[in-house]
Amino acid sequence: MLQVGDAMSQARERLNIGILGTGTIFGAYARGLSLFPHLPVVRIADLDQDRARDAARQWRIPAWGTGEELLADDEVDVVVNITPPSAHARLTDAALRAGKHVYVEKPLAATMREALDNLATAKETGRVLGSAPDTFLGTAGQTARAAIDAGLIGRPFAGTSFVRSSKAQTWHPDPSFLFQTGGGPVLDWGPYHVAALVNLLGPVGQVAGATLTAEGEIDVTAPQRRVERIRVEVPSHATGVLRFESGALVTMMYSFDVWDTELPHLEIYGTEGTLQLPDPNTFDRPVRIRRRTDDAWSQLPPVIERTTPEPPKPFRALGVADLAAHLEGDDHRTSGEFAYHVCEVLDALQAITLDQGPVDVASRTERPAPALGARRLT
Ligand SMILES: NC(=O)c1ccc[n+]([C@@H]2O[C@H](COP(=O)([O-])OP(=O)(O)OC[C@H]3O[C@@H](n4cnc5c(N)ncnc54)[C@H](O)[C@@H]3O)[C@@H](O)[C@H]2O)c1
């Protein structure tokens, strides 16, 4: 069963969760949080009241209604904000000012100005702000981190990071937000990759690259679609180089236009070998290694137990549990500051042109602490 859930639940105080937004990703949170008994979902809200009511019935959640009702509910300790990116900052601000701790989906906010304001509001109100992605807390992210910390690939000097289309127009009922400010491959998928990379290599110092948009409009073919055609308002293909403060250079391509490719998701190259990570939008797939002296690739033993149940289903909860553990004194791995750094890198990339040359990233963040109970590799 869910060992990490157990570890994160042990001797934990109960914190009541309220969820804002009962759209596509809601089920993953409801399913994930149900495995953390100390984090019961006590109320949910959506602009679409029918959707909120149906979700409450399906997941046996005791109260549902409007966002205002949720923020006014004294029972709610932590607000999980899983509305579209354009609504993130405003609702995060309102929730913090209502005295709630907040965990917000990625990106932290649709613009850096809004993200900075949210960090300031968290400080001002003394509430904790955490943000997705939390996928690097899975066994793959933690095992790759342990391999690097143990020096298994020597000094990491480079990497590659590739995102192909998530084909959202074929499955999401209204993927418009994925092609507007706050979306695009850079801000929608980039967070999984850059968070994984910062967990492994530390903060990014500079970004260089270029972007394009291959098609100005796309057809939505999802069977449950609520829209037929959407305008692409942000770059849908970005390519570039991230220079980490450590000196490591990572080559990246984040694209909704590349329909498929067999390029690896994420690889780290060290002076003594190569690490290959699975899709960083997953938690528990194997990490592979091939060192200078190895005859072939092999799988690394996971340093923590599975973090998601089997068989795999959409799952989210680790970041909320991380915030809850932090409230009791543990490190905050998915902190707002960490997410801000990730967003600043991606925001720079989204606007970058070849003519301007490299752009400096102003913010810095520590590599997050390894997950609770993570074993060391030798
Ligand atoms: N869909 C996925 O697979 C997925 C995966 C990981 C992360 N995310 C992230 O989760 C967030 C939500 O994505 P989604 O796909 O579930 O979007 P969605 O559009 O399917 O659902 C969003 C829901 O939020 C509601 N909403 C909007 N404004 C609101 C407000 N002011 N108050 C209350 N409810 C409001 C909408 O009515 C809708 O039901 C985004 O930040 C996205 O990046 C989505």
Q: What tens digit of pLDDT does each residue of 310-336 get?
A: 988 999 999 999 999 999 999 999 999
Regarding the beta carbon of 67 and ligand 1, being less than 6 Å apart is answered yes
Q: What is the pLDDT of residue 1?
A: 38
Distances (CA, A) of 139 to 71, 177, 358: 34, 30, 33
Q: Which residues pair with 163 in a beta bridge?
A: 254
Nearest to 266 by CA among 252, 253, 255, 277: 277
Each residue's pLDDT, cut to its tens digit, for the chain (378 residues) gives 345 555 566 658 999 999 999 999 999 999 999 999 999 999 999 999 999 999 999 999 999 999 999 999 999 999 999 999 999 999 999 999 999 999 999 999 999 999 999 999 999 999 999 999 999 999 999 999 999 999 999 999 999 999 999 999 999 999 999 999 989 999 999 999 999 999 999 999 999 999 999 999 999 999 999 999 999 999 999 999 999 999 999 999 999 999 999 999 999 999 999 999 999 999 999 999 999 999 999 999 999 999 999 988 999 999 999 999 999 999 999 999 999 999 999 999 999 999 999 999 999 999 999 999 999 999
**Ligand 1 geometric centre to CA of 4 (Å):** 26
> What pLDDT is recorded for position 52?
98
| Omega prior to 264 cis, within 30 of 0 | no
135 ligand 1 Cβ < 6 A: no
The dotted CATH code for 135-304+335-360 is: 3.30.360.10
Residue 121 CB-density burial (10 A; 0-12 exposed, 13-18 middle, 19+ buried): buried
Determine the pLDDT at residue 10. Answer: 60
Q: How many CA atoms lie within 13 A of 28 on its CB side?
A: 18
51 lines ligand 1 (CB under 6 A): yes
Whether the CA torsion 346, 349, 350, 351 is positive or negative: it is positive
pLDDT one-digit tens code per residue, 196-227: 999 999 999 999 999 999 999 999 999 999 99
Residue closest to 344 by CA, chosen among 119, 126, 138: 119
For residues 244-261, b (16+ Cβ closer than 10 Å) or e, as one string? beeebebebbbbbbbeee
Angstrom CA distances, 56 to 44, 45, 59, 156, 194, stand at: 7, 9, 5, 47, 34
Q: Where in the chain is the domain with CATH 3.30.360.10?
A: 135-304+335-360
Distance from the Cα of residue 312 to its chain's centroid:
18
Long-range contacts of 92-97 (CB under 8 A, 24+ apart): 92/118, 92/121, 92/129, 93/117, 93/118, 93/121, 94/67, 95/20, 95/71, 96/121, 96/122, 96/125, 96/127, 96/129, 97/121, 97/125
Amino acid at site 8? M
226 Cβ contact list (under 8 Å, min separation 6): 173, 174
Cβ 147 under 6 angstroms from ligand 1: no
Say if ligand 1 is within 6 A of residue 47 CB: yes
Answer yes or no: are the C-beta atoms of 252 and 240 closer than 8 Å: yes
Q: Please work out whether the CB of residue 197 comes within 6 Å of at least one atom of ligand 1.
A: no
Ligand 1 touching residue 232 (CB < 6 A): no
CA-proximal residue: ligand 1, atom 44 (nearest) = 25
Distance 184 CA to ligand 1 centre (A): 15
How many whole angstroms from 251 Cα to the centroid of ligand 1?
Answer: 30
Q: Is 18 in the pocket of ligand 1 (CB under 6 A)?
A: no
CB of 209 within 6 A of ligand 1: the answer is no
Q: Is 20 in the pocket of ligand 1 (CB under 6 A)?
A: yes
Amino acid 12: pLDDT: 80
Other Cβ atoms less than 10 A from the Cβ of 363: the count is 18
**243 - beta bridge partners?**
206, 249
Tell me, in angstroms, the distance from the centre of ligand 1 to residue 46's CA. Answer: 9
Cβ of 168 less than 6 Å from ligand 1 = no
The CATH superfamily label for domain 3-131 reads NAD(P)-binding Rossmann-like Domain (3.40.50.720)
Distance CA 22, CA 52 (A): 6
Ligand 1 pocket, mutate which of 83, 170, 220, 334 (most atoms under 8 A from CB): 83
**Helices 26-33 + 318-327 axis angle, to 10:** 50
- What is the Å distance from ligand 1's center to 144 Cα? 30
Closest ligand 1 atom to residue 132 Cα is: 7
Question: Which pLDDT score is estimated for 3?
Answer: 52
